[in-house]
């Protein structure tokens, strides 16, 4: 099973939203990272055959997705960034309705709805109206509808929006298990959402993949550029204005800073093990500084 992205490009007038992006994805979980406006959602909408590319193509198992039509939709599960639902429906009723739209037989749909409500910790509120749900609960219903048809390609755009820490961990575990024999793409600007579970990460900026690799590979790109040092608390703001500070922890009258910089920022700074968050901040912090 393979999803092949071949120089996908999208122009909106003169604005280049996605710039000749290419990749080959087999079974596994892929993180798509980037700041808001990086082109992630435009790329996703082309991969879902919602937007027609200006040029380039996407293929699923060697067939162009635009030409596959219903066959590709049957293989696809999608959660858009802005997920809308009918507030007068119950969670179970809404999912049953979505299953009917997807053409899932009624008996199979009933079992699948029950399984997904339990998997996403919504079983106890299956018969509650969606208007009573919190934002995080509605988001989990959105994930459930994307999984209804047991898709071979699952694409989620900012799926953890509104989820509390426990819900985010539960969702990450669910997606990690699901990706063992399927293609899962998780788009987000929250590094921790992909750091623990992604098999491979693509970082987008200005419509391009500017970095890609496994989490350890990307973190290793900033080895020797991550430092820790302790300064008086009143100096912390000055350091934040001078360098990229990835973390600031208060310790009494001191501030422990985690700094991402090309060179040792101070004789007091000690090198430390880099993370994906550090690599992300190194790239985007540098880009922001250059602008």
What is residue 119's predicted lDDT score, i.e. its pLDDT? 95
Q: What is the pLDDT of residues 196-241, one digit of tens each?
A: 899 999 999 999 999 999 999 999 999 999 999 999 999 999 999 9
Residue 254, classified by CB atoms within 10 Å of its CB into exposed (0-12), middle (13-18) or buried (19+), is middle
Q: Minimal CA–CA distance to 147: which of 70, 72, 78?
A: 78
Q: Where are the domains of the chain?
A: 3-214, 224-273
Residue 55: is its pLDDT beyond 90?
yes
* Cα 130 to Cα 39, 108, 225, distances in angstroms: 31, 23, 48
- pLDDT more than 90, % of the chain: 86
Q: State the pLDDT at residue 83.
A: 81
**Mean pLDDT within 96-118:** 95
- Exposed e or buried b for every residue in 62-101, given b needs 16+ CB within 10 A? eeebeebeeebbebbbbbbeebebeeebbbbbbbbebbee
In the predicted model, is pLDDT for residue 14 greater than 70?
yes
Q: Which CATH class is domain 3-214?
A: alpha beta
Q: What are phi and psi of 42, to 5 degrees?
A: -60, -45
Contacts of 109 (CB under 8 A, 6+ apart): 96, 99, 100, 148
Q: Please check the confidence at residue 162 and state whether its pLDDT lies above 70.
A: yes
pLDDT at 73 over 60: yes
- Please give the Cα distance from 40 to 8 (Å, whole number): 12
Residue 158, classified by CB atoms within 10 Å of its CB into exposed (0-12), middle (13-18) or buried (19+), is buried
Q: Which two tokens stand for residue 223?
A: 């080895």
When pLDDT is cut at 50, 70 and 90, the band that residue 288 belongs to is very low
pLDDT level of residue 252 (50, 70, 90 thresholds): confident
CA atoms within 13 A on the CB side of 263: 3
- In the chain, the percentage of residues whose pLDDT exceeds 70 is 98
* Residue 146, pLDDT above cutoff 50: yes
On the CB side of 149, CA atoms within 13 Å amount to 24
Q: Is 196 helix (H, G, I), strand (E, B) or coil?
A: coil
H-helix or E-strand spanning residue 232: strand 226-232
Place of tokens 């959105």: 142
> Is the separation of the CB atoms in 160 and 193 below 8 Å?
yes
pLDDT above 80: residue 15: yes
Q: What predicted TM-score, i.e. pTM, was given to this entire model?
A: 0.91
Q: What is the CA radius of gyration of the chain?
A: 21
More confident residue, 190 or 8: 8
Instruction: Say whether pLDDT at 291 is over 70.
Output: no
Contact yes or no for 246/260 (Cβ under 8 A): yes
Output the CA–CA distances (angstroms, integers) from residue 236 to 74, 232, 240, 284, in the order listed: 53, 7, 6, 21
Residue 44 CA to residue 158 CA, distance in Å, equals: 11
More confident residue, 104 or 189: 104
Confidence of residue 287 (pLDDT cuts 50, 70, 90): very low
pLDDT over 70 at 61, yes or no:
yes
Question: For residue 77, is pLDDT > 70?
Answer: yes
């Amino acid at each position: 099973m393979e999803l092949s992205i071949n120089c996908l490009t999208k122009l909106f007038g003169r604005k280049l939203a996605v710039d000749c992006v290419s990749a080959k994805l087999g079974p596994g979980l892929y993180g798509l990272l980037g700041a808001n406006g990086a082109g992630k959602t435009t790329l996703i909408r082309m991969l879902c055959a919602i937007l027609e590319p200006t040029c380039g193509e996407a293929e699923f198992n060697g067939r162009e997705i635009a030409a596959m039509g219903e066959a590709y939709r049957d293989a696809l599960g999608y959660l858009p960034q802005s997920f809308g639902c009918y507030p007068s429906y119950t969670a179970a009723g809404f999912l049953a309705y979505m299953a009917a739209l997807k053409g899932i037989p009624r008996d199979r749909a009933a079992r699948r709805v029950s399984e997904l409500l339990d998997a996403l910790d919504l079983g106890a509120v299956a018969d509650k109206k969606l208007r009573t749900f919190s934002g995080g609960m509605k988001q989990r219903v959105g994930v459930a509808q994307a999984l209804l048809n047991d898709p071979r390609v699952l694409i989620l755009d900012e799926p953890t929006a509104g989820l509390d820490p426990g819900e985010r961990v539960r969702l990450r575990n669910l997606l990690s298990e699901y990706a063992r024999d399927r293609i899962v793409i998780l788009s987000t600007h929250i590094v921790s959402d992909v750091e623990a579970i992604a098999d491979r990460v693509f970082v987008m900026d200005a419509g391009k993949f500017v970095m890609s690799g496994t989490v350890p590979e990307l973190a290793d790109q900033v080895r020797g550029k991550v430092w820790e040092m302790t300064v008086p608390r009143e100096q912390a703001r000055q350091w934040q204005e001078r360098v990229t500070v990835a973390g600031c922890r208060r310790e009494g009258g001191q501030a422990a800073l985690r700094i991402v910089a090309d060179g040792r920022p101070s004789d007091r700074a000690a090198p430390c093990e880099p993370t994906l968050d550090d690599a992300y901040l190194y790239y985007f912090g540098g880009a922001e500084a250059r602008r």
